[in-house]
Homo-oligomer: A and B are copies of this chain.
Amino acid sequence: MNDPCDGYGPRAPLGNVNEGTAISRIFQQIRAEGQIARIDIARDLMISPATVTAITSDLIARGLIEEAAAISTETLRGRPRVKLQLRPNAHVVAGLKLGANVTTLVLLDFQGRQLSEAAISQPLQNAGADEILALIERALDSALTQADLSRSDISAIGVGLPGFVNAAEGMVHWSPVLDSRMIPLGARLQDALKCPVVIDNDANLLALAELWFGVGREQRDFIVVTIEQGLGMGIVIANRLYRGTRGRGVEFGHMKIQPDGALCRCGQRGCLEAYLADYALLREAEMALPADTSQDHDRLENLFDEAKAGNLIARSIFHRAGRLFGIGLANIVNIFDPALIILSGEQLQYDYLYDIEVSEMMEANSIDLSDRPVELRVHKWNDQLWAKGAAAFALDHITGAILDTAPQVRVP
């Protein structure tokens, strides 16, 4: 599977989303399709060609889109179609993933194409906001230098981090990478970097990346589940991220699947995460690999190798994890009834053991009305895609601001 970001080939339309104004719908359509002729926009969105001309010429005047140089060869006769595309230079955004071990940053142009990237391997745990800021600045300047740009060229920055984040308020309620609760990280970074900053839970942003650059082309509704240090989930309903009724993300890792079950790092018992996360597997690894003193990551590798080699204890560890994961997914299926669930994240390198248990248990434990079974896919993206999701969030923020504010010129 190749990188879904390079080049914007023709795509399926996003569905008849009859929401929003014509201007934003047309803009979204151009972004989704990459390149599209006016007449196709009119047909896809059921908007008259006259209106499309009016709106696109406005967007061109505002510098947001442009006519593509490539001449369309789709028509044999008649006036050829002129494709429209987002103007790459209109804006540049940065997207970051703050991870426990690595911080990844990408710079994207307005079309969503990657200009440069930077990765800093530095453990990040219980850090202060200043530390985070310094880290971001290092990564940012590195990527800017590569792309031959300066900070003032950046229109917005998106940041994804694990934990409980209220994206609308830019508030981090809790995160393993931060040293205290209730940090208004969004505002904090925005003030320091003198640039709009949006933040969100990392799993949400991976879902956003899937929406913009991945399966979102075909699917209006799907769920992304991530397994890394913890468990994460991002839910896309009707082409939009669902963030819970009060703005905070959805919590999957702390779903209880066993009363008085295993102890979780959150202090509660029976959380799914307490059976699936790195630390959960490692604390059982002792039994299978008693003499092993290697680092956590390698240790997990070893455990996996042992399981593959037939070590019954190691197998049992993955076996239970897979079963419980399946149950957790089944609970989600029963609630949201999604057509597609995407499993993503580092730990899925261990999926060959998961595969059987997980999908089996999921199916066995969900109320499937047998007409449309849930599809389970595994996507092994690297950290770059997470960062791209963050950048997509930043792009979304920019365009939202532009499209919303422009017509609001009502001065009494």
Q: Does A381 contact B (CB under 8 A)?
A: no
Q: Does A66 contact B (CB under 8 A)?
A: no
Report yes or no: A256 in contact with B365, Cβ–Cβ below 8 A.
yes
Chain B residues with Cβ below 8 Å from A220 are 245
Contact residues, A207-257 vs B (CB, 8 A):
220-221, 237-238, 244-246, 248, 250-252, 254-257
Contact residues, A332-374 vs B (CB, 8 A):
332, 334-339, 364-367, 369, 371-372
Given contacts A244-B335, A337-B244, A338-B245, contact A257 B256 (CB under 8 A): yes
The oligomer's copy count stands at: 2
Chain B residues with Cβ below 8 Å from A324 are 259
Q: Does A84 contact B (CB under 8 A)?
A: no
Q: Does A173 contact B (CB under 8 A)?
A: yes
Contact residues, A312-337 vs B (CB, 8 A):
323-324, 327, 330-332, 334-337
Report yes or no: A364 in contact with B248, Cβ–Cβ below 8 A.
no
Report yes or no: A268 in contact with B335, Cβ–Cβ below 8 A.
no
In the complex, what distance in Å separates the CA atom of A246 from the CA atom of B174?
Answer: 33
Chain B residues with Cβ below 8 Å from A327 are 256, 259, 270
Residues 183-206 of A, flagged 1 when their CB comes within 8 A of B and 0 if not, give 000000000000000000000000
Q: Does A76 contact B (CB under 8 A)?
A: no
Task: Find the residue from A248, A365, A372 having the highest chain B CB count within 10 A.
Answer: A365
In the complex, what distance in Å separates the CA atom of A332 from the CA atom of B244?
Answer: 11
Residues 12-23 of A, flagged 1 when their CB comes within 8 A of B and 0 if not, give 000000000000
Label chain A's interface by main secondary structure: loop
Q: Does A266 contact B (CB under 8 A)?
A: yes
Report yes or no: A245 in contact with B336, Cβ–Cβ below 8 A.
yes
Q: Does A110 contact B (CB under 8 A)?
A: no
Chain B residues with Cβ below 8 Å from A266 are 367
Chain B residues with Cβ below 8 Å from A248 are 337, 369
Report yes or no: A364 in contact with B268, Cβ–Cβ below 8 A.
yes
Report yes or no: A221 in contact with B237, Cβ–Cβ below 8 A.
no
Chain B residues with Cβ below 8 Å from A334 are 250-252, 254-255
Q: Does A164 contact B (CB under 8 A)?
A: yes
Nearest-neighbour CB distance to chain B for A204, whole angstroms, equals 13
Nearest-neighbour CB distance to chain B for A307, whole angstroms, equals 20
10 pairs of A and B residues whose beta carbons are closest in the complex = A244-B337, A221-B245, A251-B334, A173-B369, A246-B337, A256-B327, A255-B331, A251-B367, A254-B367, A256-B365
Binding site for B on A (CB under 8 A): 164, 173-174, 220-221, 237-238, 244-246, 248, 250-252, 254-259, 266, 268, 270, 323-324, 327, 330-332, 334-339, 364-367, 369, 371-372
Pull 12 A–B residue pairs with CB atoms less than 8 Å apart, ordered by A. Answer: A164-B369, A173-B371, A244-B336, A246-B337, A246-B372, A248-B369, A252-B334, A252-B335, A257-B257, A259-B323, A259-B324, A268-B365
Given contacts A250-B335, A254-B367, A256-B330, 18 further A-B pairs with CB under 8 A are: A173-B371, A244-B335, A244-B336, A244-B337, A245-B339, A248-B337, A252-B335, A254-B334, A255-B335, A256-B257, A256-B327, A257-B259, A258-B258, A258-B259, A268-B365, A270-B327, A270-B365, A335-B335
